[in-house]
Amino acid sequence: MPKIRNLLPGILHIPAAKLVLQGRAVKEVPEITPDIQKQIDAKRIAVVKDGEAVEAPAPKLPKPHADYDKMDESEAIDYVGDETDPKVIQSILQTEKRGSVIDALKGRLKEIGDARK
């Protein structure tokens, strides 16, 4: 059975093939249907060849300030408010567990995104 990879960072849903692929995920399918072929032609899906790495490499994100882990909540929120690189904010967001800091991170990402429009 062939394996396919979602080339998009987000979820890809192909209802006719009863297929939902998470971003960059690989899944084995019974056959390449016409609907799957359309997605391959549109470069949204790729067929994974035998011996090819099944796991997609995770994108490398920059690391936050070296002392970030030692900051208390208010210091972390101040740091996030001053940060201008959305990739650094996303890397912090992947590991942050404090709710108020997560809210600040999401708000800052939105501010940066709105400023770039």
Residues 43 and 12 in one domain: yes
Residues 111 and 74 in one domain: yes
Rank 20-24, 74-78, 112-116 by mean pLDDT and report only the highest.
74-78
Quick check: is 18 in a domain?
Answer: yes
Q: Has residue 117 got a pLDDT over 70?
A: no
Residue 80's Cβ-count burial label (10 Å; 0-12, 13-18, 19+) is buried
pLDDT digits (tens, 9 = 90+) for 35-94: 999 999 999 999 998 766 555 555 566 777 788 888 999 999 999 999 988 888 888 888
* Encoded tokens for 106: 């999401």
Return the pLDDT at 31.
93
Return the pLDDT at 10.
85
> Domain tally for the chain?
2
Whether the model clears a pTM of 0.85, i.e. scores above it, the answer is no
Residues 7 and 41 in one domain: yes
Return the pLDDT at 30.
93
- Domain housing 86: 68-116
Return the pLDDT at 60.
65
pLDDT classification of 115: cutoffs 50, 70, 90 = confident
Residues 110 and 73 in one domain: yes
DSSP the chain: --EEEE-SSS-EEEGGGTEEE-TT-EEE-SS--HHHHHHHHTTSEEEEPTTS-SSPPPPP-----TTGGG--HHHHHHHHHH---HHHHHHHHHH---HHHHHHHHHHHHHHHHHH-
CA 83 – CA 117 distance, rounded (Å)? 18
Quick check: is 58 in a domain?
Answer: no
Residues 10 and 39 in one domain: yes
